[in-house]
Chains A and B, each alone.
Chain A
Amino acid sequence: MRQIAYQRAGSVDEAVQAAAQPEAAFLAGGTSLVDLMKLEVLNPARVVDVTRLDLSRIEPRADGIRLGATATNSAVAAHPEVKRRFPALSQALLSGASPQLRNVATVAGNLMQRTRCAYYRDLATRCNKRSPGAGCDAIEGWTRMHAILGGSEQCIALHPSDMCVALAALEATIHVRGQRGERDIPFGDFHLLPGDHPEREFALEPGELVTWVFVPATAAAARSRYVKVRDRISYAFALASCATALEVANGRIRVARMALGGVGTKPWRSLEAERMLVGATPRAETFRRAADVALRDARPRRDNAFKVELAKRTMIRALTLSAEGA
């Protein structure tokens, strides 16, 4: 790790101001940032600790729940209102990382979790995300844990978060504060596709701080499910995962939301698949057709062709569970 300055923000304004300096980064749980700093993949000169700001509240409201940016993964997962009204979110959080990591990892930190691409994390290899224009050794390399959706010729790094998959399906909104004020970012707009600029990952202006995430409550959300397939039974990243939220009335699907993990360069939502589900009978054939649509644009590489079928089956499983819960 290079030499750094550590600054603990005393207020949100102070944090925003401090982070607007060059080479600054917000630091919360540190579970993604500190290890990348050790690897010297991320090299901020200044870290702005936001963990002591009053941003860790979890506030249930009639129309949803507001998750403070520094609420820990453990706290959110265990919150009774989250478990009751947004089960997929709790399930997704609990399927990620380890208890020790969840005890410090935060909502905002998880939003900004970096890819686990082994090439990104290895300075001995070429990586466009780490060094724009350097090239990518992953695309022609070991791609078992890489994206089959949303990749470009520059980058196929997988988005690793579980929480974000649930939040994508639950249509959360991200509230941020910057030097120019506050704004809301719809979840689907927060993570950027790599395109020609894989180094740009988030729709944030320099210095902008995530302050909370709002998750709207719906009947479908209350029956949401998260299914994750991984090599190791616990403490492993997803080979494929899926969050689904269905509302079924009179034997027909009324509302359908879904997002896939472990397959995309960002949490992957297929609006087309959702549209296809609406109005249909919740049964295996319906789910299979929707899954085929969701994965239609998949572009597998040498080692991850299996993800196409695995993601479909994961999606079918999650939809089945959501429908059964409905």
Chain B
Amino acid sequence: MNDNHSDDGLGRREFLVGGAVIVVAACAGSQARREGTGPSAPGEPIEIMLLVNGERRALRVDPRTTLLDLLRENLGLTGTKKGCDMGQCGACTVLADGVRIDSCLALAAQYDGRSITTIEGLIKDGTLHPAQEAFLQEDAFQCGYCTPGQILSCIGFLHEGGGATEMEIREGMSGNICRCGAYPNIVSAVRSLRGRA
């Protein structure tokens, strides 16, 4: 399943958390593509399907519910954090089909049929994802509230091929605010992962 990802020299097999999930999701995504939904009345709940950390979730949602609130308030996945609710801090970063996004500005309805990876989906059989391990070892956090978003952003960033220089890491990780000021350690953590490629 992962064969098509194993040769990119980035150690992508490691970063593609649940690569299988994402592939499955990509299929589901293309099925859902181009399909329109009919008109409905304001406030009428809508049915969506999300692959959350590999698990298929059929959901009925208020159309105005954001992906962030859906995860936190409806699915109990509180690892994804709300810091500003306005796309200004990155605490809510998740991967949508492997791409990092701010889930606070995403209406859940828009992600119907797509695969979402949250911090809870990174750990496999009790083993931390390398990015989680790197953040732990480098003490790349203090209060820990921005940390899930930082880690998913880091994974997304490395997917994007970033991280060649320290300046590039700083810029590439700028969408995640850490008020405790752990940035130098965050940069070290990202750099250590890049070094594994």
Contact = CB atoms under 8 A, between A and B. Distances in A.
A27 B110 contact: yes
A235 B105 contact: no
A162 interface: no
Interface string B38-76: 111111101000000000000000111010000000000
A30 interface: yes
Given A234-B174, A235-B175, A104 B157 contact: no
Given A10-B36, A31-B87, A100 B64 contact: no
Given A4-B64, A35-B105, A234-B174, A103 B86 contact: no
A47 interface: yes
B187 interface: no
A54 B34 contact: yes
A9 B36 contact: yes
A275 B86 CA distance: 41
B115 interface: no
A49 B112 CA distance: 12
Interface in A269-303: none
Given A8-B35, A52-B32, A99-B174, 10 more contacts: A2-B42, A4-B63, A5-B40, A5-B41, A6-B107, A7-B37, A31-B102, A35-B105, A99-B153, A99-B156
Nearest to B108: A6
A38 to B, nearest CB: 7
B42 A18 contact: no
B93 interface: yes
B40 A104 contact: no
Range class of the A interface residue count: 35 or more
A99 B110 contact: no
B178 interface: no
Given A38-B85, A47-B107, A101-B102, A7 B39 contact: yes
B42 A7 contact: no
A35 B87 contact: yes
Contacts of A37: 64
A169 B87 CA distance: 28
Nearest to A46: B42
Contact of A49 (B110, B157, B175): B110
A192 interface: no
Nearest to A44: B42
Q: Which 8 A-B pairs have the closest CB atoms?
A: A10-B36, A98-B175, A3-B43, A234-B174, A6-B63, A8-B37, A6-B109, A1-B64
A211 interface: no
Interface in A45-63: 45-47, 49, 51-54
Contact of B36 (A7, A29, A31): A7
Nearest to B109: A6
Contact of B172 (A7, A27, A54, A99): A99
Interface of B: 32-44, 46, 62-64, 66, 85-87, 90, 93, 99-102, 105-107, 109-110, 112, 153, 156-157, 160, 170-172, 174-177
A49 B42 CA distance: 15
B110 A30 contact: yes
Contacts of A34: 66, 105-107
Q: B-side binding surface: helix, strand, loop or mixed?
A: loop
A49 B64 contact: no
B90 A100 contact: yes
A184 interface: no
B35 A10 contact: yes
16 contacts: A3-B42, A5-B42, A6-B46, A6-B109, A8-B110, A10-B36, A10-B37, A30-B107, A30-B110, A97-B87, A97-B175, A98-B102, A99-B156, A100-B93, A100-B102, A103-B156
A155 B26 CA distance: 46
A54 B33 CA distance: 9
A103 B101 contact: yes
Nearest to A11: B36
A11 B35 CA distance: 9
A98 B174 contact: yes
A189 interface: no
Contacts of B39: 5, 7, 18, 46
A34 B107 CA distance: 8
Nearest to B174: A234
Given A3-B43, A99-B175, A104 B101 contact: yes
